[in-house]
Amino acid sequence: MNQLKELQKSSADGTKTIQVRVNGQIVEREVHIRMLLVDFLREELGLTGTHVGCSVEGRCGACTILLNGENVKSCLTLAVQADGANILTVEGLGTPDNLHPIQEGFWEKHGLQCGFCTPGMMMSAYNLLKVNPHPSSDEIREAIVGNLCRCTGYEHIIEAVQYAAERLSSMSKEEREKLLTY
Ligand code: FES
Ligand code: FES
């Protein structure tokens, strides 16, 4: 957080035009150089599935997205730092009629109560399943260590990710790769 504050302070006032690929679509916007990536996603693009849970201190993980294939907390990243990047948010996973296996897992295994942490959890799970098709429960816990949930106790969340892992493993290599492309 200190580093971010330093960056914000040391930047001269002004705006910058950035181009980003978000959920497969190229978008271009002029943003203030101090705008946080989470605010860019929510306010500029209307992608409100990425949540703010801890007053942007990097502690809760509700704002987790994929930036160039890595999980990042979008409250600790400036929008201008994402210029030219490839971003995946929860809106890019699946649709209500065609859930991504990770979303299906949270649905089937009751991996949520209030659901506030769920988008961030899913993005961390996505990144894990990309590199580890058969994670153990400890590996899942490790992958979501930066994502706090205050209401489920995590057991159902672990089961949800295991469900997703099994669903993805039952698919062809092509199908699986299509669902874990970022
Ligand atoms: S809002 Fe980003 S970690 Fe809490
Ligand atoms: S389901 Fe409520 S915080 Fe996670």
For the stretch 3-28, pLDDT in tens is 555 455 445 569 999 999 999 999 99
For the stretch 83-96, pLDDT in tens is 999 999 999 999 99
Nearest alpha carbon, ligand 1 atom 3: 58
Which pTM value belongs to this model? 0.91
Ligand 2 atom with least separation from CA of 53: 3
Percent of the chain with pLDDT over 90: 88
* pLDDT attached to residue 10: 44
Classify residue 12 as exposed, middle or buried by CB count within 10 Å of its CB (0-12, 13-18, 19+).
exposed
Answer yes or no: is the C-beta of 110 below 6 A from any ligand 2 atom. no
Q: How far apart are the first and last CA of the chain?
A: 26
115 C-alpha to ligand 2 centroid (Å): 5
Ligand 2 atom with least separation from CA of 117: 4
| Residue 46 binned pLDDT confidence (cut-offs 50, 70, 90) | very high
Picking from 165, 103, 160, the residue whose alpha carbon sits closest to that of residue 129 is 165
